[in-house]
């Protein structure tokens, strides 16, 4: 049976803006109030998808959500017509209006944790949507994301989409950004679940919040159908979180039988690496980048580890944010060390600056899912990109997306209505039924 890894990228929404909503995400806070360019953001995302399609990879796409989210505003006590709701929110609580207007569902790495059918007991691909309780603007994505995933992955012979964990801080879960797996020859993969804190006891960051708990990871493992002996629960280095590593995918990336990470990624890292080696019976390739080669600060500023490594394990290619090529230390490390160490066949530096300015790099924008041919054929909706669909999306974005945006515009119902229509039309373009939008809005 043929297996393929599909990257589903979130199409950036027309309300993409810089609201400074994510404390602990240094880019989000640093760019608060800057003028955004949603059109450019979406085109940059589509160019990344194109880059991978051109290299023969199957590429998926999922639509943005409706924003501003009038229903969330209503749930927070704003009443009246949408026009009045928006005007009052802008007057009385602009921060709440910005929470309800974020295009943050674009970062699909936070949508869910995915366990391929070949690794788990159920024989189905298990999808565990994240509750994203650590940030209000992200938590309001969840209902819409769950409905969308339940539609695309509705074939119950092949897929099982669970409910998110209870929406409380004790079970805070941020999805695939905190999950890695390592394929081994002739054995189920080793799955690593990464957390930032425990509900009680243990070490924790002091400056910035830890977004995922160990208790959430344990619950995910119970749902995963994985053999516990193939799982690891690993704590992020609290110092890394305090330096801006709010998700594990800012400091580590896995591909096939490879782990690329910074030497300060995990607490008690030597012990973690030893356990990983043991569980994978030596067939793993671990590349730890030293602080001397790439200081943590440079890793956070360039998103070196938020890259995508794809293709044959012995001859992979690597897609990195363009910021990596502009930092001399990082570029030097990639070209003189990483290239030969991983036998990279191609290194692509892509411009994703609009998303990067909110702390979202290449890997944040994608949810990767390993599927066999039967599972690929069971997907619902036009969510796999063809040349034609890609072309239509580019054309759509060019004609319908604004090329500059500040929060104040979103307080105007006429403008907001246009942005909502854009998302409705995108659903149609992707063959997704409009009832999904209504459900998401309840």
Ligand X SMILES: NCCC[C@H](NC(=O)CCC(=O)O)C(=O)O
Helices 82-92, 413-429: crossing angle, 10 deg rounding: 120
Based on the residue annotation, tell me whether 364 is a catalytic residue of this protein: yes
Angstrom CA distances, 300 to 108, 304, 324, stand at: 19, 8, 10
332 annotated binding-site participant: no
DSSP state of 207: S
Residues 353-412 that bind ligand X (CB under 6 A): 358-360, 364
Q: Which is nearer to ligand X, 111 or 126 (CB)?
A: 111
Angstrom CA distances, 227 to 111, 181, 223, 232, stand at: 23, 13, 11, 11
Site string for ligand X, 300-339 (x = CB under 6 A): ----------------------------------------
Which contiguous run of DSSP H or E holds residue 340? helix 339-342
Question: Is 115 an interacting residue with respect to ligand X (CB under 6 A)?
Answer: no
Rounded distance, CA 92 to CA 90, Å? 6
Question: Is 19 an interacting residue with respect to ligand X (CB under 6 A)?
Answer: yes
Q: Which of 14, 20, 60, 68 binds ligand X (CB under 6 A)?
A: 20
Q: Write down the least CB distance from residue 434 to ligand X, Å.
A: 26
Residues 155-184 that bind ligand X (CB under 6 A): 177
Q: Write down the least CB distance from residue 211 to ligand X, Å.
A: 8
Q: Which stretch binds ligand X (CB under 6 A): 40-48, 99-107, 316-324, 411-419?
A: 99-107
> Residues in the chain, how many?
442
Residues 26-65 that bind ligand X (CB under 6 A): 28
Q: Which of 8, 57, 78, 107 binds ligand X (CB under 6 A)?
A: 107
Q: Indicate which residue of 16, 158, 179, 247 is catalytic.
A: 247
370 annotated binding-site participant: no
Q: How many residues bind ligand X (CB under 6 A)?
A: 20
Q: Which of 18, 195, 208, 305 binds ligand X (CB under 6 A)?
A: 18
Rounded distance, CA 437 to CA 421, Å? 11
Q: Which stretch binds ligand X (CB under 6 A): 17-25, 195-203, 338-346, 419-427?
A: 17-25
88 annotated binding-site participant: no
- Strand 187-195 relative to strand 179-184: parallel, antiparallel, unpaired? antiparallel
Q: Which of 247, 262, 264, 279 binds ligand X (CB under 6 A)?
A: 247
Question: Is 25 an interacting residue with respect to ligand X (CB under 6 A)?
Answer: yes
Question: Is 248 an interacting residue with respect to ligand X (CB under 6 A)?
Answer: no
Question: Is 102 an interacting residue with respect to ligand X (CB under 6 A)?
Answer: yes
Rounded distance, CA 23 to CA 43, Å? 27
Residue with tokens 């309300």: 15
Helices 38-54, 387-400: crossing angle, 10 deg rounding: 170
Site string for ligand X, 129-158 (x = CB under 6 A): ------x--x--------------------
Question: Is 67 an interacting residue with respect to ligand X (CB under 6 A)?
Answer: no
Question: Is 255 an interacting residue with respect to ligand X (CB under 6 A)?
Answer: no
Angstrom CA distances, 116 to 127, 154, 307, 364, 387, stand at: 9, 15, 21, 19, 27
Q: Write down the least CB distance from residue 29 to ligand X, Å.
A: 7
Q: Which of 65, 104, 301, 302 binds ligand X (CB under 6 A)?
A: 104
Q: Please, are residues 250 and 178 in contact by the beta-carbon 8 Å criterion?
A: no
Rounded distance, CA 120 to CA 129, Å? 17
Q: Write down the least CB distance from residue 306 to ligand X, Å.
A: 8
Q: Spell out a b/e string for 212-232, using b for 16 or more CB atoms within 10 Å of the CB, else e.
A: bbbbbbebbbebbbbeeebbb
Backbone angles phi, psi at 8, to 5 degrees: -95, 115
Distance of CA 12 to the CA centre of its chain: 12
Q: Indicate which residue of 141, 147, 174, 263 is catalytic.
A: 174
Helices 387-400, 413-429: crossing angle, 10 deg rounding: 170
User: Which residue ranges make up the site for ligand X (CB under 6 A)?
Assistant: 18-22, 25, 28, 102, 104, 107, 109-110, 135, 138, 177, 247, 358-360, 364
Instruction: Give me the active site residues, please.
Output: 174, 247, 364
Q: Which residues sit in the known binding site for substrate?
A: 19-28, 110, 137-138, 211, 249, 358
């Amino acid at each position: 049976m043929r297996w393929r890894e599909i990257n589903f990228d979130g199409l950036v929404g027309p309300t993409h803006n810089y609201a400074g909503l994510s404390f602990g995400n240094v880019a989000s806070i640093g760019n608060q109030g800057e003028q955004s360019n949603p059109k450019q953001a979406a085109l940059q995302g589509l160019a990344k998808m194109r880059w991978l399609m051109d290299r023969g990879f199957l590429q998926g796409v999922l639509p943005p959500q409706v924003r501003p989210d009038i229903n969330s505003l209503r749930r927070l006590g704003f009443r009246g017509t949408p026009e009045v709701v928006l005007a009052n929110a802008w007057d009385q609580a602009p921060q709440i209006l910005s929470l309800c207007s974020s295009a943050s569902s674009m970062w699909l790495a936070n949508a869910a944790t995915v366990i391929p059918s070949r690794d788990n007991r159920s024989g189905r691909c298990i999808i565990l949507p994240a509750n994203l309780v650590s940030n209000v603007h992200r938590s309001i994505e969840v209902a819409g994301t769950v409905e969308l995933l339940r539609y695309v992955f509705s074939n119950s012979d092949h897929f099982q989409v669970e409910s998110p964990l209870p929406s409380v801080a004790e079970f805070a879960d941020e999805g695939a950004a905190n999950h890695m797996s390592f394929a081994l020859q002739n054995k189920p993969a080793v799955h690593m679940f990464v957390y930032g804190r425990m509900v009680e006891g243990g070490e924790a960051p002091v400056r910035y919040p830890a977004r995922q708990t160990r208790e959430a990871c344990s619950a995910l493992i119970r749902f995963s159908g994985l053999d516990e002996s193939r799982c690891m629960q690993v704590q992020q280095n609290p110092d890394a979180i305090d330096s801006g590593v709010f998700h594990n995918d800012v400091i580590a990336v896995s591909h096939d039988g490879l782990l690329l990470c910074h030497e300060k990624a995990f607490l008690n890292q030597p012990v973690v690496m030893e356990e990983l080696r043991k569980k994978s019976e030596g067939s793993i390739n671990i590349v730890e980048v030293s602080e001397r080669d790439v200081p943590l600060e440079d890793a956070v500023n360039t998103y070196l580890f938020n890259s995508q490594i794809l293709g044959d394990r012995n001859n992979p290619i690597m897609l990195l944010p363009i910021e990596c090529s502009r930092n001399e230390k990082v570029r030097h490390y990639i070209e003189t060390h990483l290239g030969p160490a991983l036998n990279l066949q191609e290194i692509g530096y892509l411009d994703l600056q609009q998303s990067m300015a909110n702390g979202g790099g290449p890997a944040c924008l994608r949810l990767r899912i390993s599927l066999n041919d039967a599972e690929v054929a069971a997907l619902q909706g036009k969510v796999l990109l063809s040349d034609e669909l890609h072309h239509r999306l580019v054309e759509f974005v060019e004609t319908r997306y604004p090329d500059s945006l500040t929060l104040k515009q979103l307080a105007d119902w006429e403008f907001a209505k246009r942005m909502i229509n854009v998302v409705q039309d995108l659903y149609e373009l992707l063959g997704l039924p409009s009832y999904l939008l209504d459900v998401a809005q309840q």
